[in-house]
Amino acid sequence: MDKKKILYIAGFLILVLLVPFLDIDLSVFIMVKHPIFILLTLLTILFSFIVLAFRLKFLLRAAGEKELSLIDSFKVEVTNRFFTYIAPMKLNIPVKAVLLNKRFKVGKVNALAMSSYEYFIDLGILFFFGLLGFLFVFNDFAGAQANMILIVFALLAFIAAFFLVPKHFFGKLEARIQSASENIFRNAILFLVKSLSQMREAWINLFFSRESPAIIFLVFVKFILAIISYIFLFWAVGYDLNFIYILMVISFSMFLGGISTIPSGLGVREGSIVLLLSLFAVPSAFSFFAVVANRLLIIPFLVLGYFFSLQFGVKK
């Protein structure tokens, strides 16, 4: 059995084991009180793909590449989501880069820089949302707040050090590696350093471009839409949820799903949402309905992404 199948099974097991572990009443699935909110969730997901399409257009402009039409950008983003669900280990990131390079003639370095930049910006915003929620909810735990702030400063210091290192540092490092005796490790390390240097320059250009504020704003819009989609699903079963709680929980859970190796964080995101919301006395049955319904409503877009991938000539 290959690794991808093992990861899929692990994700599904997390979902299945949640039911007996939390004694979830599955009858909630046939107790939808307000179907209109299911439709609104579907429209919210559609709108989130349109937001991603606009973000891709801004990223291409920031990288100095030829812009795609809104339709082509939409197709790329839906195709990327399809590969997010079938590719483990975040392989959808290089797949999107290859698609942009081969199909739309985007430079290799820029294509990979944009795909990875999106991923890290997304994780950063999720961490930011989760941290804000944590500080708001647990404002009585001064020690915990201090530790969280220390972690944030440490991360910011590391990122600043990486981007503020003079460009010639990488050149000297490459020269020193080249002067070492030739072997497979030297060549691999040299390739890594060269690639990192090129990506660093591309990331700096993206971050300090005129389009950067618009790109970051659209990331915020994307995750606000994700939170709204969950709120709609809770409303569909007649449960009104505190916005701050769901902001913190959804952000943290999506962050965990984003760093997991399971395709699209299947099971990791759902399990953490249900468990964390239960800490705030949210009935597990309602949370389980929301996370499963959210996954089911994405299926039409995954099917669309599959057909777009065939149109683009992308092979698994």
Domain extents for the chain?
31-138+211-312
Q: Which residue has the higher pLDDT, 23 or 125?
A: 125
Instruction: Please name the residues in contact with 22: beta carbons below 8 A apart, sequence gap of 6 or more.
Output: 274, 275, 278, 284, 288
- Return mean pLDDT, the chain: 83
Instruction: Compute the chain's Rg from CA coordinates.
Output: 21
Check if the beta carbon of residue 218 is closer than 8 Å to that of residue 54.
yes
pLDDT tens-digit readout, 33-74: 899 999 999 999 999 999 999 999 999 999 999 999 999 999
Instruction: Please name the residues in contact with 261: beta carbons below 8 A apart, sequence gap of 6 or more.
Output: 7, 88, 89, 90
Q: What is the mean pLDDT of residues 259-265?
A: 81
The confidence score (pLDDT) of residue 25 equals: 61
CA distances from 74 to 56, 66, 103, 174 (A): 9, 16, 14, 39
The confidence score (pLDDT) of residue 111 equals: 94
Please report, rounded to a whole number, the percentage of residues in the chain having pLDDT higher than 70.
83
Q: What is the mean pLDDT of residues 244-253?
A: 84
Characterize 297-314 residue by residue with b for buried, 16 or more Cβ atoms within 10 angstroms of its Cβ, and e for exposed: bbeebbebbbebbeebeb
The confidence score (pLDDT) of residue 96 equals: 93
Check if the beta carbon of residue 119 is closer than 8 Å to that of residue 35.
no
The confidence score (pLDDT) of residue 55 equals: 97
Sequence length of the chain is 316
The confidence score (pLDDT) of residue 8 equals: 62
Q: What is the mean pLDDT of residues 281-298?
A: 89
Per mean pLDDT, which range of 57-66, 121-130, 150-159 is the poorest?
Answer: 150-159
- The answer, as to whether pTM is greater than 0.75, is yes
Distance CA 281, CA 238 (A): 16
The confidence score (pLDDT) of residue 217 equals: 95
pLDDT exceeds 60 at position 246: yes
pLDDT exceeds 70 at position 12: no
Check if the beta carbon of residue 207 is closer than 8 Å to that of residue 113.
no
The confidence score (pLDDT) of residue 124 equals: 86
CA distances from 256 to 43, 126, 263 (A): 25, 10, 12
